[in-house]
């Protein structure tokens, strides 16, 4: 039961099983949840910090359990880390319009793939901590750039 719950969270309810680019599927799932929250519930960008803070612990646990059971250090089908990182990226926007949604997605995917320091170093942390921490840092980098672009009125 515990491992089943862990896998459900780790794959973000099955998004990680996408046959093409599961990490991108996880990021898109995060945006698919965020969009109606912004559009219909009036969420502001910074509010995405709340689910990141609430879900980081369960994400680390789920990623660690799932990695251990699959006997892989960072299984590609674990995408809860992409969800949290993508929400962190959104939190950096001053306002959400089409350009900032696209920029948040592109920046997060760029930093998640490129892994500039200390993103790569965080990935080396043990278990679920390493799986999640690098994406959180990629999300922070994305949020900082998105915030700067918003401040400079580029977006």
Domain presence at residue 17:
no
Domain presence at residue 104:
yes
Domain presence at residue 40:
yes
Domain presence at residue 85:
yes
pLDDT of residue 2: 85
DSSP string, 44-113: -GGGGHHHHHHHHHHHHHHHHHHHHHHT-SS-TT--HHHHHHHHHHHHT-SS--HHHHHHHHHHHHHHHH
Report the C-alpha gap between 142 and 16 in whole angstroms: 22
pLDDT of residue 133: 98
pLDDT of residue 153: 86
Report the C-alpha gap between 121 and 97 in whole angstroms: 33
Domain presence at residue 134:
yes
pLDDT of residue 21: 97
Report the C-alpha gap between 9 and 59 in whole angstroms: 7
Domain presence at residue 144:
yes
Residue range of the domain that includes 117: 2-12+22-151
Report the C-alpha gap between 4 and 31 in whole angstroms: 25
Residues of the chain with pLDDT under 50: none
**Is the entire prediction scored with pTM above 0.85?**
yes
In the chain, what is the greatest distance between 2 CA atoms, to the nearest angstrom? 49
pLDDT of residue 155: 79
Work out the number of other CB atoms within 10 angstroms of the CB of residue 11. 23
Alpha-carbon radius of gyration of the chain: 15
Domain presence at residue 147:
yes
pLDDT, tens only, 14-39: 999 999 999 999 999 999 999 999 99
Report the C-alpha gap between 98 and 154 in whole angstroms: 13
């Amino acid at each position: 039961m515990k491992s089943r719950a862990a896998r459900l969270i780790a794959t973000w309810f099955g998004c990680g099983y996408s046959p093409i680019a599961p990490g991108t599927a996880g990021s898109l799932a995060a945006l698919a949840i965020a969009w109606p929250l912004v559009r219909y519930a009036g969420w502001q960008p910074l509010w995405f910090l709340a689910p990141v803070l609430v879900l980081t612990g369960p994400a680390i646990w789920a990623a660690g359990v799932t990695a251990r059971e699959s006997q892989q250090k960072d299984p590609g089908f674990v995408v809860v880390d992409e969800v949290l990182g993508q929400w962190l990226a959104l939190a950096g926007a001053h306002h959400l319009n089409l350009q900032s949604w696209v920029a948040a997605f592109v920046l997060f995917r760029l930093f998640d793939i490129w892994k500039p320091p200390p993103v790569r170093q965080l990935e080396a942390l043990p278990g679920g901590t390493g799986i999640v921490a690098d994406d959180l840092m990629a999300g922070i980098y994305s949020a900082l750039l998105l915030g700067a672009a918003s401040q400079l009125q580029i977006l």
